[in-house]
Amino acid sequence: MPRFEVAEDLSDKIKNLSRARQSLIEEMEAIMFYDERADATTDKNLKEIIIHNRDDEKEHFSLLLEYLRRNDTELNKEMKEILFSKKELKELGD
């Protein structure tokens, strides 16, 4: 799973974070694929199936994001500050 270093040099914590982050990327990619397919198909029944599948991927994405939030202290801090804020986006971040 490591992309930039050899596995033997990495802790279990970093390996698991890498696994979760790669899975998060793959779930978002699946959402993009399904979104485009749902938009492109002219078959109403197929569109409904694809939309259902796409929304399942959003659940998977959210579960992984929550795992990362619980296991990455700095990410948790940033998410607490930014997610669900009522501020304008330009007012968030440093």
| Inter-CA distances, 85 with 2, 6, 20, 27, 65, Å | 33, 39, 25, 24, 17
CB of 86 to Fe ion, least distance (A): 31
Spatial distance between the Cα atoms of 25 and 53, rounded to a whole number of angstroms: 17
3-class DSSP state of 50: helix
Decide if residue 58 touches Fe ion (CB under 5 A). no
CB of 10 to Fe ion, least distance (A): 25
**Using CB under 5 A, which of the segments 34-42, 50-58, 65-73, 79-87 binds Fe ion?**
50-58
Decide if residue 57 touches Fe ion (CB under 5 A). yes
**Using CB under 5 A, which of the segments 7-15, 16-24, 52-60, 64-72 binds Fe ion?**
52-60
Q: How far apart are the first and last CA of the chain?
A: 32
Q: Which residues bind Fe ion (CB under 5 A)?
A: 27, 57, 60
